[in-house]
Amino acid sequence: MRDRAFASWLGTVTVALGLAAVAHGQAPTGLIPIGRPRVQEGLRVTAAYMVGAVPLEPAARPAARPVEGTLTIHLEIEVEAVHDNPYGLEADDAVPYLRIPFALTHGPTGRRVEGRLAPMVSQDGFHYGANVALPGSGVYTLSIEVRPPEGLARHTGPRRGVRPWWRPFTLSWRFTHPPT
């Protein structure tokens, strides 16, 4: 529990430093949370982004081609099991093999950027992500659909079996970019 409190405090400090950097005309180097984590179907889903695209290997196609005057972010979604989830996953473990489509809707213009998040790793761990070109500054709505694992077998017998996977569910958050 103490580790979680520290992680929460560290996240708050990171966001505060990032916001201070933005206020002084500098791009933040860390993750900027998008809303609060959500818990559904025994899973904790966290959304965040970094300013700018990140280099990837193998190179991934961006969700939208950057064009003059657009802003680019690296969108990240973490999906982790919670304690006592019915799927046999350890608490706080990342959930593999997910397909997560997303849509970012720009409030001022209604323009949408859609894509699918790819599984990836970085120094801060496993996540699903994409480099995304945004149509401009302002309020955005991020919507994702969390689909069950594809290609991940589960035990179904009476002694060691786990519950069937969840039905796909949708989560949405609103955020302003750049942060104010």
pLDDT at 74 over 90: yes
**32-177: CATH topology:** Immunoglobulin-like (2.60.40)
The token pair at 179 is: 């942060």
**What tens digit of pLDDT does each residue of 123-172 get?**
989 999 999 999 889 999 999 999 999 999 999 999 999 999 999 999 99
The larger pLDDT score, comparing residue 66 to residue 49, is at: 49
Q: Identify the residue with better confidence: 85 or 67.
A: 85
Tokens matching residue 26: 């500098």
pTM for the whole thing? 0.79
Q: Categorize the per-residue pLDDT at 60 as very low, low, confident or very high, splitting at 50, 70 and 90.
A: low
β strands within 107-179, DSSP E:
112-122, 125-134, 138-146, 169-177
- Model pLDDT, residue 71: 85
Residue ranges per structural domain of the chain: 1-30, 32-177
60 contacts 118 by C-beta, under 8 angstroms: yes
pLDDT bin (cut points 50, 70, 90) of residue 7 is very low
